[in-house]
Amino acid sequence: MPHKVLLVDDDKDILDLLKYNLEREGYTVMGERDSQQAVATAHSFQPDLIILDIMMPKVNGIEVCSQLRNLEEFKSTYIFFLTAKSEKYLQSEALEQGGDDYIEKITGLRALTHKVSTVLKKNLVIRKCIKHIDIGDLHVDRTKNLVYYRGKEVVLPKHEFELLYFMAQNPRKSIPHDSILHNIWGSEVYLFAKSIDTYINNIKQKIGAPLIAKQGNRYRLEGF
């Protein structure tokens, strides 16, 4: 059965554009313009992923997300935010209320479709609401953007931290180069595979352990 995606946005043009493009990717898509009806629509539609705009009349997207997360049936449903707002406090609040990812509309449609494909087709995890990840001797703390390995604190720049955080959510999974690229840098940035290798080598040197293996154009967090 095709994966189901629920879109919630009061802008009809954006809703139609998203629906058209996601249906082209093979998803069953339902659109909802009334944020007050979003939870009821989610109940009846039972989507695998929900994409919310933030700034909507009546009830904003963050409040809708909070309502959904308080219901047992939507505890593990993916919830992405797609919004024109870029303020950091809104991003933080969206994730704090249970959003799994925050995508700015300015980054374009491709970033969204790649992230949807990552979680629904490639079965990789993107859950930025998870604050702490423990895998063996590795501890990743998103609240402070710090990494600890065997008790040693390791400070990583933003992209290195996000790369390791993404891989730590998918341990022992073979992650394609394009999934790393689009989920860390976005669809408008092009990096050669060797550029990602540089970031990964920096991570390994700073942590002091060869935690990330490469095979062809795929990468895997292993050794746990």
Give the pLDDT confidence score for residue 172 in this predicted structure. Answer: 87
112 contact partners, CB below 8 Å, separation of at least 6: 18, 51, 80, 82, 103
Give the pLDDT confidence score for residue 107 in this predicted structure. Answer: 61
Confidence of residue 196 (pLDDT cuts 50, 70, 90): confident
4-120 topology per CATH: Rossmann fold (3.40.50)
Residue 157: which of 95, 111, 199 has the closest Cα? 199
> Beta strand 138-141 with 146-149: parallel, antiparallel or unpaired?
antiparallel
Give tens-digit pLDDT for 6-42: 999 999 999 999 999 999 999 999 999 999 999 999 9
Give the pLDDT confidence score for residue 91 in this predicted structure. Answer: 83
Give tens-digit pLDDT for 122-170: 999 999 999 999 999 999 999 999 999 999 999 999 999 999 999 999 9
52, 64 Cβ separation under 8 angstroms: yes
Tokens 């300015």 belong to: 106
In sequence order, what are the beta bridge partners of 102?
81
pLDDT greater than 80 at residue 174: yes
Question: What average pLDDT is seen over the chain?
Answer: 91
> Beta strand 152-155 with 146-149: parallel, antiparallel or unpaired?
antiparallel
Q: Which CATH number fits domain 132-221: 2.130.10.10, 2.60.40.1190, 1.10.460.10, 1.10.10.10?
A: 1.10.10.10
CA angle 128, 130, 136 (to 5 degrees): 120
> Beta strand 4-8 with 218-221: parallel, antiparallel or unpaired?
unpaired
Q: What is the Cα–Cα distance from 199 to 43, expressed in whole angstroms? A: 42
The total of other beta-carbon atoms located within 10 Å of residue 150's CB is: 11
81, 99 Cβ separation under 8 angstroms: yes
220 contact partners, CB below 8 Å, separation of at least 6: 167, 172, 173, 174, 175, 212, 213, 214
pLDDT greater than 80 at residue 85: no
Give the pLDDT confidence score for residue 194 in this predicted structure. Answer: 66
Domain residue ranges in the chain: 4-120, 132-221
Q: Is the whole-model pTM more than 0.85?
A: yes
> Whats the size of the chain, residue-wise?
224
The total of other beta-carbon atoms located within 10 Å of residue 198's CB is: 12
Residue 74: which of 49, 102, 103, 37 has the closest Cα? 49
Amino acid found at 60: N
